[in-house]
Amino acid sequence: MTTRRKFLKGAAVAAPAAALAAPAIAQSKIKWRLQTYAGPALAAHVIKPAIDSFNKIAGDQMEIELFFADQLVPTGELFRAMQKGTIDAVQSDDDSMASPTEVTVFGGYFPFACRYSLDVPVLFNQYGLGEIWDKEYAAVGVKHISAGAWDPCHFATKDPIRSLADLKGKRVFTFPTAGRFLSQFGVVPVTLPWEDIETAVQTGELDGIAWSGITEDYTVGWADVTNYFLTNNISGAWCGSFFANADRWNELPDNLKELFRVCTDQSHYYRQWWYWGGEADLRVNGTKLKLTSIPDEEWATVEAAAVKFWDEIAAESETKAKVIKILRKYNDDMQKAGRPYRYA
């Protein structure tokens, strides 16, 4: 007859073996929703390859569902939706998604902040902008993951632009801060949903677009409804980032955080060569847009106005002044470094 002591002893020995033999409880797959500022045609280049790679590598651990411009919420509401957790992550510039931070004006196209796309990652990784962005977004419940460069900012218009006078009265789709700067030259900034832009140009609601370089003009169809491309630009590269709801980010295991960072870096790298090569190729070989230019001596007045604009922004807050100080230091260093960093 089995005694109580023998029974308990046998159960203790059997328990570990039983635990090893029992099937593991399946861990639920993490699912995120990420919305980009870009429409489908553009997103195919600026984010989809990176998200496809992430999902392929993450396998059963995690899946990111990608949504395009205005698909879940309007672009101007992206920040609030992410902050609330309605959306888990976002790819956008600070300016377009109306983030309530002191660095918002520097997202997108801050006038003449950079000349080349490589300027953006250097400013964030070597000159201290990354630390400022991290601090600003941590204070509002959002994780700033990484910043990268897109294309330069040019005008694509129905009528030719060959002087500053030609800009007066032109209704142009552009970014908030860029519009604020350009308005002093008579430009009328217009805000519309991204997917409505092509139709708005066709109907005459818009006279042009100052939202991208020539690569995007061809990729998204804007080159089909405009006739001219102005070679002068107000910035050498768009500055945008990947962001995530802070709680959702903190819940991720370390390997998935690292994977997401690696995939965003891959996205930044893809854009470096895609835009850089595309901008040159389409200027030389493109057949849809005629190139126009404003003379250098006249365009110099726009560059001079940017210096005053920087002073105006710096006076608004201590953080903005700190960013402007970094931008001045960086551009001064590049100028002193000479070729190939700066030519004039």
Mean per-residue pLDDT for 185-196?
93
* Confidence category of residue 343, pLDDT binned at 50, 70, 90: confident
pLDDT of residue 336: 96
Q: Is residue 181 over pLDDT 70?
A: yes
Report angle CA 218, 94, 82 to the nearest 5 degrees.
105
pLDDT tops 50 at residue 16: no
DSSP letter string over 251-316? HS-HHHHHHHHHHHHHHHHHHHHHHHHHHHHHHHH-SS-EEE---HHHHHHHHHHHHHHHHHHHTT
For CA atoms 17, 21, 25, 27, the dihedral sign is positive
Mean pLDDT of 196-216: 97
Q: In angstroms, rounded to a whole number, what is the distance separating the alpha carbons of residues 108 and 152?
A: 10
Which residues make beta-bridge pairs with 173? 190, 209
Predicted confidence (pLDDT) per residue in 274-309, tens digit: 999 999 999 999 999 999 999 999 999 999 999 999
Angle between helices 318-337 and 296-314 (to 10 degrees): 140
92 is written with which tokens? 């956008």
Over residues 183-189, the mean pLDDT reads 97
pLDDT over 90 (residue 52)? yes
Residue 216 has pLDDT above 70, yes or no: yes
Q: What is the pLDDT of residues 79-113, one digit of tens each?
A: 999 999 999 999 999 999 999 999 999 999 999 99
Assigned fold of 30-150+238-285? D-Maltodextrin-Binding Protein; domain 2 (3.40.190)
Round the average pLDDT of the chain to a whole number and report it: 93
For residue 15, what pLDDT is reported?
A: 45
* Residue 236: pLDDT over 70: yes
Span 154-236+291-337 CATH architecture: 3-Layer(aba) Sandwich (3.40)
Where along the chain do its domains lie?
30-150+238-285, 154-236+291-337
HSE value, Cβ hemisphere, 13 Å, CA-based, for 310: 20
* Predicted confidence (pLDDT) at residue 209 exceeds the cutoff of 90: yes
Amino acid 195: pLDDT: 87
For the stretch 173-195, what's the b/e string if a residue is b when 16 or more beta carbons lie within 10 angstroms of its beta carbon? bbbbbbbbbbeeeebbbbeeebe
pLDDT digits (tens, 9 = 90+) for 149-158: 999 999 999 9
Express as a percent the part of the chain with pLDDT over 90: 90
Q: Is the pLDDT of residue 321 over 90?
A: yes
Q: How confident is the model at residue 194 (pLDDT cuts 50, 70, 90)?
A: confident
pLDDT at position 18 is 43
pLDDT (average), residues 323-344: 94
* Helical (H) or strand (E) element with 318: helix 318-337
Q: What is the DSSP string of 119-171?
A: HHHHHHHTSSHHHHHHHHHHTTTEEEEEEEE---BEEEESS---SGGGGTT-E
Distance CA 324, CA 310 (A): 7
| pLDDT value at 25 more than 60 | no
- What's this model's pTM, rounded to 2 decimal places? 0.89
pLDDT at residue 27, as a whole number: 67
pLDDT for the residue numbered 344: 64
